[in-house]
Amino acid sequence: MSLWHVVEKEVVTSTMDEIKSLLGDKSFIALQAYNQTKGRGRRGNVWECGKGNLLISFAVMVPSARAAHLPEWAFGVGVALARTLKTYLPSDLCHLKWPNDALFDGQKLSGLLVESYVDPRTGHLWAIAGIGLNVHEKPLLAERPTACLADMLDPCPSLKSVRDLLLQNLSEAYDVWNEKGFPAIRLQWLSLAHPPGTPLMVRQGDQEIHGSFVDLDLQGRLLLKKRDGTDLTMTAADVFLEPKGETP
């Protein structure tokens, strides 16, 4: 954790936005808030995260050799997140779901968002990742069941202990990504994701596609086998686990 310059604030609009004001000569920066008024998720969705949960963004300065591969870092963040959760929860029930969720027994426990940002003051490229982790409270989401650590752990770990472990795992994932590239991160992500054959429903606009998880390719795309046996490669979509008992 010593790599990280950590700032805590009681209330922010969005940790993703406000961390930009903290960028400077330090390469690893974290901003934790206890409440945010305009949190946002992927595709501009409202970021729902209740009181007593971990609301945090991380900024890492991107080395020039990795600049063209910045989207890969989202999978590194996912690896760090899953490893943090598996420290507290039964390993066989914690899984990553493409592209950006961590699940416990099929219920959403955490989500993440990664964006690129060029600091106009310095020209440096940053990868900014935001995580909302349900620790003490689970938000109600219309289409996704949710969970929180407090439902499963007594005593529940403190926000600080979860944060510090997450920072440690992020440092390790960053080293793997920076030194070995996406192939190594991909293998780690796959080892932490739901297994091949998991039934999925993919939504693109008004279209719903049913099939099963096959793989994550070397571009970070989802490989899906549709119910009719054809293969599909997804670059962007909303992905849901099928209810238990459904078959692909």
pLDDT in 10s for each residue of the chain, 248 residues:
568 999 999 999 999 999 999 999 899 999 999 999 876 655 455 555 667 999 999 999 999 999 999 999 999 999 999 999 999 999 999 999 999 999 999 999 999 999 999 999 999 999 999 999 999 999 888 778 999 999 999 999 999 999 999 999 999 999 999 999 999 999 999 999 999 999 999 998 889 999 999 999 999 999 999 999 999 999 999 999 998 655 54
Q: Hey, what CATH class is 199-241 in?
A: mainly beta
pLDDT at 136: 96
Q: Which amino acid is at 43?
A: R
- Tell me the C-alpha distance between 165 and 109, whole Å: 16
CA count, 13 A, side-chain hemisphere, 166:
28
pLDDT at 205: 85
pLDDT at 246: 55
pLDDT at 143: 76
pLDDT tens digits, one per residue of 15-38: 999 999 999 989 999 999 999 987
- Partners of 91 in beta bridges: none
- Contact of 140 with 41, CB cutoff 8 Å: no
Helix H or strand E encompassing 168: helix 159-180
- Contact of 69 with 106, CB cutoff 8 Å: no
Q: What is the largest CA-CA distance in the chain?
A: 54
pLDDT at 190: 98
Q: Hey, what CATH class is 5-192 in?
A: alpha beta
**DSSP conformation class of 105:** T
Helix H or strand E encompassing 175: helix 159-180
Which sequence spans correspond to the domains of the chain? 5-192, 199-241
* Separation in Å, CA 58 to CA 7, 21, 48: 10, 13, 18
Tell me how many degrees the CA angle 148-184-69 measures, rounded to the nearest 5: 90
- Contact of 100 with 113, CB cutoff 8 Å: yes
- Tell me the C-alpha distance between 148 and 186, whole Å: 27
pLDDT at 204: 86
pTM for this model (two decimals)? 0.93
